[in-house]
């Protein structure tokens, strides 16, 4: 299974740790950068990740200092539902109820072990559909200006 990753410099270290974690679990990682700690602009990487997730029809995980900026940017791309999570329950619900296709994490706000646990929760959960489908469709209609 493919997983798209992307970060700015503030999320770079955590991205690298999660990349190793995903490789150990057998995922194929599609790393969209950045590739070192040099300062970059998080919207560029949020959009790169978002487009790759849509192209590959897979899930993504994005990182910046707080996870806020890069998730805001990714959510501007039609078809993306990026969820910023700080604990496992939200990550599970982001998949089960919101059909989130991107998880956003803050490299400066959470530790590596918690991040791994949040990633596992996100990847192990599935969208439940049903009444949640109707609600997600309402979000998608907003993207059409309806």
Site residues (vs ligand RB5, CB under 6 A): 8, 10, 42, 64-66, 68-69
Tell me how long the chain is: 146
Question: Would you please indicate which residues are annotated as catalytic (active-site) residues?
Answer: 64, 97
In the complex with ligand RB5, which residue's Cβ is closer, 4 or 74?
Answer: 74
Report in angstroms how near the CB of residue 64 gets to ligand RB5 at its nearest: 3
Least Å distance, CB 66 to ligand RB5, is: 4
CA angle centred on 44, ends 126 and 69, rounded to 5°: 65
Rg of the chain over Cα atoms, rounded to whole angstroms, equals 14
Give the Cα separation of 2 and 44 in Å (integer).
Answer: 21
Closer residue to ligand RB5, CB minimum distance, 22 or 74: 74
CA distances from 5 to 18, 97, 140 (A): 9, 22, 23
CB closer to ligand RB5 out of 53 and 84? 84
Give the residue nearest to ligand RB5 (CB).
69
* Shortest distance, position 77 Cβ to ligand RB5, whole Å: 17
- The bridge status of strand 2-7 relative to strand 59-64 is parallel
């Amino acid at each position: 299974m493919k997983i798209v990753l992307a970060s700015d410099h503030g999320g770079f270290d955590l991205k690298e740790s999660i990349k190793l974690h995903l490789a150990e679990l057998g995922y194929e990682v599609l790393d969209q950068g950045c590739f070192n700690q040099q300062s970059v602009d998080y919207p560029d990487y949020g959009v790169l990740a978002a487009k790759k997730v849509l192209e590959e029809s897979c899930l993504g995980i994005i990182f910046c200092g707080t996870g806020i900026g890069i998730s805001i940017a990714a959510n501007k791309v039609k078809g993306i539902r990026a969820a910023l999570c700080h604990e496992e329950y939200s990550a599970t619900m982001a998949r089960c109820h919101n059909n989130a296709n991107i998880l956003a994490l803050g490299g400066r706000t959470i530790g590596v072990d918690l991040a791994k646990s949040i990633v596992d929760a996100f990847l192990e959960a599935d969208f439940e559909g049903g009444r949640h489908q109707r609600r997600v469709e309402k979000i998608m209609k907003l993207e059409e200006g309806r």
